[in-house]
Structure 1
Amino acid sequence: MPQQRHLEQLAWPQVQELAAQPGSTVVWPWGAVEQHGPQLPLGTDGLFAERVLDAVLAALEPSLPILRLPLQSIGFSPEHRGFSGTISLPPQVLIEQLVAVGHELAGTGFQRLVLFNGHGGQISLLQTAARQLRAERPALAVLPCFLWSGPEGIAELIPEPERSDGLHAGLAETSL
């Protein structure tokens, strides 16, 4: 991953210059710390989000004003609290955090924020936060994306009943 794509590794004048360019975009990967069966690490969702995002960013034209934020590794996973190691934040905390970060990015001049989510349990939460942020900062386009619903043709690669019953800790996640 080229260092120049990580917002936190740039100096503020570089960020200011990139934010002022047409189409300036920040991608924020989201994951969770929760059980993924006995065979996978707690950070599986974030691992997928970061790996896919870094591969996409590495393939982009270097001059594009597209940066990424560090992974938001702790998410909303209350349904997994019975498993050791699961850490779940309350929904209002995550919404407030997302809106606050969005305000900062908009204030810097960024035009777009993509929420690149690897955890299915917080899809609606990120959609809600995105709507709130757009209402407060209409100049900032906010797009929540879910890793497993984006790529065309991915559904055909996942066998039934996993496709209809859910991906969590199944064959697809385990094989990846």
Structure 2
Amino acid sequence: MPIRTRFWAELRWPEFRDLPENTVAVLPIAATEQHGPHLPVSTDQTINAGILARALTHCPPELPLLVLPHQAVGLSVEHLAFPGTLTLDEEGFLALVTAIGASVARAGVRRLVVMNAHGGNGAMLEVACRRLRAAHRILAVSALWDRMGRPGELADPLEARYGIHAGRDETALMLRLSPQDVDRAAMADFPSARRPLEEQAPAIASSLGATLAWQAQDLNPAGAVGNAAKATAEMGEALLDFAARRMAGLWRQVAAVDLDAWLRDMPGDMNGGISGAP
């Protein structure tokens, strides 16, 4: 029998005792941070919510899935030079995600997908998911929509590499999801300083075995990188549906995983089965 709602907060506590074994909890996490002169600080939240809503339409009603409350403030220290940015510190962000995940596990749900909309959250989400696996024996997955590919007609290697913040794709999604919040007059091509740096010092900036620490103003003093001037609402619709289908597919696969086959326990007595162990 399908769960009567898709939203964790709408369930009554006795209902959590009857959830299917393969229930997937989805934790949307975004950011409240500057997105250049043309997009609002709510951009990541709006995009995440839009992809989430569309992804739910691509899920069969029998898929046991519960969406947790959207976390609107993430880890945005790379944008602190710009007013309006809100951020947790690394310790606070890690504590938030692991505490929510632990609560999910205590409710008996052993499958968690963190649906991320901000690249700066990624490294600490990997740590959080690993901690949750170790402490609670759950399947914990972090997924960033921006890393799930692009529809073929929108494939652009240069934009994918350098247009990582408030560029063509985020601007297109905002034109589709919240056009009233986009300042079209301020949409421009915002070149990334990373490109000439790669020419000068490729071993540092090319991501080939090295990780470059940067602040948003290092890449472009406007706080955006990428060709936002090329964005259209039609591009936004194509990106929205593509990302939503990829996300919904991930949820379905997480629900189908055989946890007992994947999550292994080590023997309690590590020496017990080893010949000649002291």
Specify whether residues 125 and 91 from structure 1 end up closer, same or farther in structure 2 by C-alpha distance, changes over 3 A only.
Answer: same
Structure 1 spans left out of the alignment, 5+ residues: none
1:167 maps to 164
Amino acid aligned to 1:148 = D
Conserved in 2, the CA contact under 8 Å of 1:33 and 1:87? yes
1:6 maps to 7
Question: What CA distance in whole angstroms lies between the structure 2 residues aligned with 1:158 and 1:121?
Answer: 23
Conserved in 2, the CA contact under 8 Å of 1:27 and 1:68? yes
Once the 2 structures are TM-superposed, how far is the Cα of residue 160 of structure 1 from its aligned partner?
A: 4.6
RMSD in angstroms over aligned alpha carbons? 1.7
Moved >3 Å (runs of 4+) = 153-156
Once the 2 structures are TM-superposed, how far is the Cα of residue 22 of structure 1 from its aligned partner?
A: 2.4
2:70 maps to 71
Once the 2 structures are TM-superposed, how far is the Cα of residue 161 of structure 1 from its aligned partner?
A: 2.6
Among 130, 141, 144, the residue aligned to 2:142: 144
1:49-60 mapped onto 2 (5 Å cutoff) = 49-60=48-59
Amino acid aligned to 1:112 = R
Question: What CA distance in whole angstroms lies between the structure 2 residues aligned with 1:117 and 1:155?
Answer: 23
SS of equivalent residue, structure 2 residue 5? helix
Conserved in 2, the CA contact under 8 Å of 1:155 and 1:163? no
Question: What CA distance in whole angstroms lies between the structure 2 residues aligned with 1:155 and 1:46?
Answer: 25
Structure 2 spans left out of the alignment, 5+ residues: 174-278
1:124-135 mapped onto 2 (5 Å cutoff) = 124-135=123-134
Specify whether residues 143 and 156 from structure 1 end up closer, same or farther in structure 2 by C-alpha distance, changes over 3 A only.
Answer: farther
1:72-91 mapped onto 2 (5 Å cutoff) = 72-91=71-90
Question: What CA distance in whole angstroms lies between the structure 1 residues aligned with 2:26 and 2:61?
Answer: 15
Once the 2 structures are TM-superposed, how far is the Cα of residue 37 of structure 1 from its aligned partner?
A: 0.7
Question: What CA distance in whole angstroms lies between the structure 1 residues aligned with 2:56 and 2:123?
Answer: 25
1:121 aligns with 2:89: no
The count of residues paired between Structure 1 and Structure 2 equals 170
Conserved in 2, the CA contact under 8 Å of 1:158 and 1:172? no
Specify whether residues 85 and 157 from structure 1 end up closer, same or farther in structure 2 by C-alpha distance, changes over 3 A only.
Answer: same
Instruction: Report the structure number with the largest CA radius of gyration.
Output: 2
Among all aligned residue pairs of Structure 1 and Structure 2, give the percentage whose two residues are the same amino acid.
Answer: 36
Conserved in 2, the CA contact under 8 Å of 1:118 and 1:147? yes
Question: What CA distance in whole angstroms lies between the structure 1 residues aligned with 2:152 and 2:128?
Answer: 27
Question: What CA distance in whole angstroms lies between the structure 1 residues aligned with 2:143 and 2:75?
Answer: 16
Once the 2 structures are TM-superposed, how far is the Cα of residue 154 of structure 1 from its aligned partner?
A: 4.2
Per the normalisation by structure 2, the TM-score is 0.58
Name which of structure 1's ranges 58-67 and 26-35 shifts more when overlaid on structure 2. Answer: 58-67
Once the 2 structures are TM-superposed, how far is the Cα of residue 155 of structure 1 from its aligned partner?
A: 7.4
